[in-house]
Amino acid sequence: NGLLAGKRGLIMGVANNRSIAWGIAKACADQGAELALTYQGEAFRKRVEPLAADLGAVVAGDCDVTDMSSVDAVFDGLREKWGKLDFLVHAIAFSDKDELDGRYVETTRENFQRTMDISVYSLTAVAQRAEKLMTEGGSILTLTYYGAEKVMPHYNVMGVAKAALEASVRYLAVDLGGSGIRVNAISAGPIKTLAASGIGDFRYILKWNEYNAPLKKTVSIEEVGGSGLYLLSDLSKGVTGEVHHVDSGYHVVG
């Protein structure tokens, strides 16, 4: 029973129980989805395994999106286990935290390339592989931030990467639309997660959003999970190429 009953989904980007991907995974499991979770690196295995067990989810293995053989291994595993895939959550981003502070103009070529590779290209890499398994159509969801649209202090190269990610969502939506595969993004308001802790003055950004957003609060991973559920389920069958703001309304004032 539930909005995702009978559907199988891969969730990438759970680092711990504060991860946005975890909020989405919980919402999906509550609505009857069968899930597989990846983790990145041995250190995260012991965090992700018990979380997966909580949801009755499969652990689909160690996946570092800079290593295409590890990405292939995850999708080969799913093909063997499930034969098909209905939805995919991509909640992955990385940049050197030394460059998520100060001025964008100081960005190094090395960190620019690494940030774009992990935070942008990886969506296309997983979409290529998911397309082959989404034989009955599907829904792909990624996570972005308002720093793609407006200059946000300290977000720097990650803002440039999120702009490219949002453009990727639109191009992928066109390429995969004919196969009934939808591609959307949630632009989440700031949430205190491991990745966010690398951003300079993050506590100030949280407070600023709390004071200025129409709803006068920051968003929770459960709230992002609820909107994620809509975009992953058939409720949003007519929606693709969309960037949906789940930010207490901040983007209408910020």
Contact set with ligand 0WD (CB under 6 A): 13, 15, 19-21, 40, 63-66, 91-94, 118, 143-145, 188, 190-191, 193-196
Q: Which one, of 138, 100, 141, lies nearest residue 246 by Cα?
A: 141
Our CB check for ligand 0WD shows the closer of 4 and 221 to be 221
Q: Shortest approach of ligand 0WD to residue 161 CB, angstroms?
A: 9
Helices (H), 82-189: 109-116, 122-133, 156-177
Q: Shortest approach of ligand 0WD to residue 186 CB, angstroms?
A: 8
CA distances from 175 to 124, 147, 189, 222, 228 (A): 11, 26, 28, 31, 22
Our CB check for ligand 0WD shows the closer of 145 and 230 to be 145
Q: Shortest approach of ligand 0WD to residue 24 CB, angstroms?
A: 9
- From the candidates 39, 146, 155, 250, give the one annotated as an active-site residue: 155
CA distances from 250 to 196, 200, 219 (A): 18, 20, 10
Annotated catalytic residue 121: no
Annotated catalytic residue 211: no
Q: Shortest approach of ligand 0WD to residue 180 CB, angstroms?
A: 25
- From the candidates 39, 145, 146, 230, give the one annotated as an active-site residue: 145
Beta partners for residue 35, in sequence order: 9
Our CB check for ligand 0WD shows the closer of 84 and 114 to be 114
- Measured N-to-C along each axis, helices 68-81 and 122-133 cross at an angle, to the nearest 10 degrees, of 20
Our CB check for ligand 0WD shows the closer of 21 and 51 to be 21
The residues annotated as belonging to the active site are 145, 155
